[in-house]
Amino acid sequence: MALLMAGCATGRQSASRPADIDTARVVAKTPPTVFRQPLSLMHAVVLEAMESMGCRLSLDTTSHLKGRLPTGEIVDVFLKSAGEPETQLWVDTTKTFVGGAWQTSRNQEVLNSIRHALDRQ
């Protein structure tokens, strides 16, 4: 029993570590969306967009924001400077067991929310 509990604790720790942007699946397999804005501004814009969608943030670093939408999907947003003043951005939404069968990829919705938040700047 103790061994099983230790395994669970270890799993939680690794789940809370930020993903390395260079090894993230979405970054490796998907072309970025490029914004002609500096990384610091885009980080603030992404944070505002995720909060406006009702995301509960679990991770907030310079290059990776992660949160859970009210419907259960996990949202990962990766940011990388592409030289001033450009920022590359990747969005990856993941369905979870908790959210049920009605979940869909919300990548485009998250991107639209980011664009809308940027327009308000």
Q: In CATH, what number is assigned to the domain containing residue 101?
A: 3.30.310.80
pTM of the model: 0.79
Number of domains observed in the structure of the chain: 1
Please, what sign has the CA dihedral across residues 12, 13, 19, 25? negative
Residue 2 belongs to a domain:
no
Residue 1 belongs to a domain:
no
Residue 4 belongs to a domain:
no
Model pLDDT for residues 3-59, shown as the tens digit of each residue? 333 332 223 233 445 567 877 888 889 999 999 999 999 999 999 999 999 999 999
* DSSP state, residue 68: E
Q: What percent of the chain has pLDDT over 90?
A: 60
Residue 16 belongs to a domain:
no
Residue 7 belongs to a domain:
no
Q: Is the pLDDT of residue 2 over 80?
A: no
What's residue 102's pLDDT?
54
Residue 32 belongs to a domain:
yes
C-alpha R_g of the chain: 15
Q: In which domain, by residue range, is 48 found?
A: 21-119
- Return d(Cα 77, Cα 59) in angstroms, integer: 10
Confidence of residue 1 (pLDDT cuts 50, 70, 90): very low
